[in-house]
A and B are shown apart, each in its own frame.
Chain A
Amino acid sequence: MRGPSPAVVSASKLGLTFQTNDGPVQALSNVDLTIGKGEFVSFIGPSGCGKTTLLRVIADLERPTSGAISVNGMTAEQAREKRAYGYVFQAAALFPWRTIERNVALPLEIMGLSRTEQAERIKRTLDLVNLSGFEKKYPWQLSGGMQQRASIARALAFDADLLLMDEPFGALDEIVRDHLNEQLLQLWGRTNKTICFVTHSIPEAVYLSTRIVVMSPRPGRVSDIIESTLPKERPLDIRETPEFLAIAARVRDGLRAGHSYDD
């Protein structure tokens, strides 16, 4: 039958063309990518390079116009309907009429879990993102960083093996961002989830990832894939080591190469 398939996400010859009023725009072209279980993959590139679009294709929020994508060995649509992934958006997108704990409960209610199961998962995931004690607060009573942590808790609550994150820390200041990066790494280490992470920050990508996918625009495509040689255990000051800087330099070169033609 089918061979062993450890790949969580696999894309081949993936392309997506948006029809706009100004004519077709090729958002993705010829993307080949395989993401294995337990990897932390960052997508980095200038705006318009299709990194968010690629993530949305994996999540079945966009349909590719050519090529094939599979998630957990299924089509992206089947995977979405089986709730194969948690998705964290650029903004927290918490519902202001629900308390933090009811926001985290939202996917659990839709999945039809029992009250006790819901309560147990809410407690566990809020502990995981250090938000215990804020269960009864409303989103607008919390800071931006805490809101984004609550939205990560919501994505974790339904316990999918795949976590898709679209510039989740893009709107936060650098101090909060460092802190959340550290927490995210710890979380990844503890849960062994597969994480796809879109960012436009080179240090963030290098610090977090086991693999960095460098993308370039017009048309959006993968221009380089860089394996990280950093150890799994990464304190914040690893960012000053020569090894870290070497990887960052490679990413920067990759970005520049993708950019060179439109100068």
Chain B
Amino acid sequence: MNRLKPSWQAVLAILLCLIAVALGAIAAPKIDSLAQPVGTLIYPYGAATWLIFGALLLAALISMAKLPPMIEAVVLFIGAHLAAWLLIRGIAGFEGLARAPYFLLLASAWLLGWRCVAVLSGLRPTASWARTALRLIIPAIFGAWILIIWEAVTRGAGIPFILLPPPSAIGVRIANSLPVLGADVRQTIFKAVLFGYVVGSGAGFITAILADRVPFLRRGLLPIGNMVSALPIIGVAPIMVMWFGFDWQSKAAVVIIMTFFPMLVNTVAGLAASGHMERDLMRTYASGYWPTLIKLRLPAAAPFIFNALKINSTLALIGAIVAEFFGTPVVGMGFRISTEVGRMNIDMVWAEIAVAALAGSVFYGVVALVERAVTFWHPSVRGG
């Protein structure tokens, strides 16, 4: 017993494998339309069936032996992904014909993948490059399995393309439509989003300073600002199209309105964040309004301002895409989504969603990196 270290994922994976073997064929056969004489059946998988069983069982069994965790993880990784790849490759041409063993084997492979991530998460390497690598590999395997299950289930169960296309089809669509996607990104992100984000956030910031400096603005504008920020701002998109025309300027206007209030409200809160003692200190230096603002209050407000910048980075993207639903020239991410969904080109819609997700993540990530560099002193960044 001391030479084994069983894990419940591996045991369950073996069990699922054995049930799959007992249940027989992975997928139903189909009639070969090209074959003469008509009526010849072709069978999926063939010898690959035994390769899948072998890979899963072997990986599960080896993983339970007393091995260094690194080797265990590699064995599990190869076993799980080889089996998943064979399963998905074999179902090609037999979409929708998968039987229960197909899903049992998929679950078995997924369990081994799970075990692999669990083993990797338990590693505590000392080298910093290894820690960095682990930090990337673990979420990568995690994400890969979302795609694998998505791909295998949509194809194995024959889910209609209109409801949910498999990720491979979306990938192919992205690869084949790069010029169109590129033009859409240029129109929506590099024109409407960036312009609107910079102008909207900048205007919110300047208004916050003005409201801080001029008491009547603080008392009059801020309550109204709070009220306006509660309005469903996307509702003004058609009005903006009326005012500023069909091109990107009207989308930028929507983005400006959407990003203005988060920045205003956060900056006003941030300007009140510096401590009494620090403000008394500046008073003992007979420091005027502007030196106090620049040397004390704005640095103290930086965490709030960056919060607004991060919120705005996602709001801007949403605003620009949805605003395009209300009329655009024949380019733009929102335009593409609304027209392609009408033409049942769901893979193109998904392709735009994937590109938007990627662009949004990069945008957010850049803002977060700048935040780390600027507010390095804040306890939430320096860690305690």
Contacts and interface: CB of A to CB of B under 8 A. Distances in A.
A216 to B, nearest CB: 25
B377 interface: yes
Contact of B291 (A60, A110, A158): A110
Sorting the interface of chain A by its residue count into under 10, 10 to 19, 20 to 34 or 35 or more gives 20 to 34
B296 interface: yes
B275 A93 contact: yes
B284 A61 contact: yes
A35 interface: no
A95 B299 contact: yes
A106 to B, nearest CB: 7
A91 interface: yes
Interface in A133-161: 138, 140, 158
Contacts of B280: 61, 87, 89
A97 B284 contact: no
A93 B281 contact: yes
Contact of B285 (A90, A91, A107): A107
A80 B284 contact: yes
Nearest to B286: A81
Nearest to B292: A110
Contacts of B275: 93
A106 B377 contact: no
Interface bin, chain B: 20 to 34
A203 to B, nearest CB: 26
Most buried by B among A86, A87, A90: A87
B378 A96 contact: yes
Q: Is the interface of B mostly helix, strand, loop or mixed?
A: helix
B283 interface: yes
B124 interface: no
B284 A59 contact: yes
A97 B286 contact: no
Contacts of B296: 95
A87 B281 contact: yes
A1 B295 CA distance: 42
B277 A93 contact: yes
B299 A85 contact: no
Nearest to B295: A106
Nearest to A160: B284
Interface string A81-114: 1110111011101011100000000110111000
B278 A80 contact: no
Contacts of B285: 83, 106-107, 110-111, 158
B3 interface: no
Contacts of A91: 277
A93 B377 contact: no
A110 B295 contact: yes
Contact of B295 (A86, A89, A109, A140): A109
B287 A110 contact: yes
Contacts of A110: 282, 285-287, 291, 295
Given A96-B378, A97-B299, A140-B377, A89 B286 contact: no
Contacts of B343: none
Contacts of A109: 291, 295
Nearest to A155: B284
A198 B312 CA distance: 48
Contacts of B378: 96
A203 B286 CA distance: 34
B382 A140 contact: yes
Contacts of A93: 275, 277-278, 281
Nearest to B288: A110
B283 A61 contact: yes
B235 to A, nearest CB: 41
Interface of B: 275, 277-278, 280-287, 291, 295-296, 299, 302, 375-379, 382
